[in-house]
Amino acid sequence: MAAPKPRVKIPKSAAAGEVVTIKTLISHDMESGQRKDKDGNVIPRQIINKFTCEFNGKPVFTCDVEPAISANPYFEFTAKVMESGTFKFAWVDDNGETYTHEQAIEVK
Amino acid sequence: MQVTRRQALGLSLGLSAGALAIVALGPGLNAARADEAATDKSLMELTGGKTPEMGKITLNAPEIAENGNTVPISISVDSEMTESSYVESVTLLADGNPNPAVATFHFSPMSGEATATTRMRLAKTQNVVAVAKMSDGSVFMDKKLVKVTIGGCGG
């Protein structure tokens, strides 16, 4: 699996108090631990097990992820923005790595 | 009437075939009941024994999933999402998957709306259940049957 790449879509600007839609995607095989290789050995589980989104340091949305979530996990959710700031996203891998992404939004 | 050897053989074969059929069916039946039982158990653990009410939460899932590897689903909960009244979490369960747990979304008053969309794996035709836990302790659920043409367990 190549290094997981996150992609996030948020509007560049919003009005104060507006609810914006955030779309997130990360490339990841999400190996469930259910598959067997051609020799019959179980392919070990390796998934993104947690996704978090914060805005200006405060948690907005978190997802506890199980192997039933499809490969290249997609999460779409909303956030109510009152001021300008930065969204921080993090995806935690079973192998201990965390992949992060930041994106700013201007709130008028 | 005297039973011929042919008749006796036929009878015993028939009986053993019947017995085998029941034995073969047994584990299958048990497996199906085990999936639903596992999901009910997860549900009760989640709600602390409370039976969820229907309503407030809507689970959107396709009636037929062409590819069980990636089935789009979304949830939406009717809630003000203010500090005093909001949705704490929504948990998704699938009663026919190897493990019923799918994901749990945690919201906050900063979410604006309690909605979320994702894509999930469904091993076969089954029910997807969404359970919402509110900040006041109440629990709601919605359930949809999704027919799956190609199962999504990668096997």
Q: Do B121 and A76 touch (CB under 8 A)?
A: no
Q: Is B22 helix (H, G, I), strand (E, B) or coil?
A: helix
The phi and psi torsions of B92 (rounded to 5 degrees) equal -105, 135
Segment B80-99 mean pLDDT:
96
pLDDT band (50, 70, 90) for residue B155: very low
The topology under which CATH files domain A6-107 is Immunoglobulin-like (2.60.40)
In chain A, whose CA is at the least distance from the CA of B98? Answer: A34
The tokens describing B74, both together, are 């979304």
**CA of A35 vs chain B CAs: smallest distance (Å):** 6
Question: Which residue in A48, A77, A82, A87 has the most chain B C-beta atoms within 10 A of its own C-beta, making it the best mutation to test that interface?
Answer: A77
Segment B18-38 mean pLDDT:
57
pLDDT at A100: 98
Is the predicted pLDDT of residue B22 greater than 60, yes or no? no
Torsion of CA B106, B109, B115, B120, to 10 degrees: -10
* Distance from the first to the final alpha carbon of chain B: 55
Torsion of CA A10, A11, A16, A18, to 10 degrees: -70
Q: For residues B129 and B5, give the distance between their C-alpha atoms in angstroms, rounded to a whole number.
A: 57
pLDDT at B33: 58
The ranges assigned to domains in chain A are 6-107
Residue A108, Cβ density class (10 Å: 0-12 exposed, 13-18 middle, ≥19 buried)? exposed
Note which residues in 7-66 of chain B have CB less than 8 A from chain A.
none
Q: Do A77 and B116 touch (CB under 8 A)?
A: yes
Of B71, B72, B34, B94, nearest to B148 by C-alpha is: B71
The model's pLDDT over B111-145, given as tens digits with 9 standing for 90+, comes to 999 999 999 999 999 999 999 999 999 999 999 99
**Contact status of B67 with chain A (Cβ, < 8 Å):** no
Q: Indicate the pTM of the whole model.
A: 0.85
Chain A / chain B CB contacts < 8 angstroms: 101
**Contact status of B83 with chain A (Cβ, < 8 Å):** no
**pLDDT under 50: residue ranges of chain A:** none
Lowest-pLDDT range of A7-21, A27-41, B32-46, B57-71: B32-46
pLDDT at B30: 59
Q: Percent of chain B at pLDDT above 90?
A: 63
The tokens describing A78, both together, are 């909303």
Q: For residues B89 and B103, give the distance between their C-alpha atoms in angstroms, rounded to a whole number.
A: 10
